Amino acid sequence: MPQPKAKPRREKAERWSPQERRRQLISVASRLIAERGMESLRTRDIAAAAKINIATLHYHFPTKEALVQAVIADLIALGTSVGRGSLQVHGRQSSVALRPMHRLESRYFLRLLTLDRPGVMASVATVLGDRGISLASVVQKESVVLGDDVPGAEIVLTTHAANEAAVQEAISVLAQMPVVRTIGALYRVFE
């Protein structure tokens, strides 16, 4: 008579303290948010990545919103401790050396309102180029009225990676140019 097949034994789940499990779930949720974005975050995916069942996740965080709030609280605490020159992660304290802002390398988005005259674009490009800032794209929209029926132009620029100190110096010079009426926006572009 054939023997009945034995059921495969499930591996025992690793036992974690409630605090360790919460830390793990916050860490997994943070990673999934970074990889996929908030819109794609699902509690079932978090549970699967943490190798627990959904009921265990909901024991520690009754709703997805509660877990997201814990992630945000962690980020705020991390930012606050880094801002004070120290870093506390999972209860361990260490010092952090922050890179000075002027050493940041990033792409930039810049929007200017200028007079609509020949040579303005060349002047703007020269100010940027003299500081080692390379343009990735330029769009000029004409027919902007600057006031008192003065014809103007809106210039939107994006740069290749540039040094923060060089960009700030260029902005200071551009702001002093008589043909530049307004620096409408300056944003760092992170990809």
Nearest alpha carbon to residue 62 among 70, 51, 74: 70
What pLDDT score was predicted for residue 15?
80
Fold classification of 101-189 (topology level): Alpha-Beta Plaits (3.30.70)
Cβ contact 37:46 at 8 Å? no
pLDDT for residue 1 is more than 90 = no
* CA 67 to each of CA 18, 23, 78, 172: distance values in angstroms, whole numbers, following the listed order: 14, 11, 17, 44
State the average pLDDT for the chain: 84
What pLDDT score was predicted for residue 155?
92
In degrees and rounded to multiples of 5, residue 16 shows phi and psi of -125, 145
CB burial readout 104-123, b (16+ within 10 A) else e: eeebbebebbbbbeeebbeb
What pLDDT score was predicted for residue 16?
80
What pLDDT score was predicted for residue 164?
94
pLDDT for residue 187 is more than 90 = yes
pLDDT for residue 6 is more than 90 = no
Query: How many helices (H) and strands (E) in the chain?
Result: 6, 7
Compute the C-alpha angle 110/114/119, nearest 5°.
100
- Determine the Cα–Cα distance for residues 129 and 170; give it in Å rounded to an integer: 9
Share of the chain above pLDDT 70, in %: 80
What pLDDT score was predicted for residue 133?
97
Where do the domains of the chain lie? Answer: 18-95, 101-189
Higher pLDDT, 11 or 66: 66
Residue 75 identity: L
Higher pLDDT, 33 or 142: 33
Tell me the HSE value of 86 on the side-chain side, using a 13 A CA sphere: 5
What pLDDT score was predicted for residue 165?
95
Which one-letter DSSP state was computed for residue 102?
Answer: G
CATH architecture type of domain 18-95: Orthogonal Bundle (1.10)
- Using pLDDT thresholds of 50, 70 and 90, give the confidence band for residue 149: confident
pLDDT for residue 81 is more than 80 = no
- Determine the Cα–Cα distance for residues 41 and 70; give it in Å rounded to an integer: 14
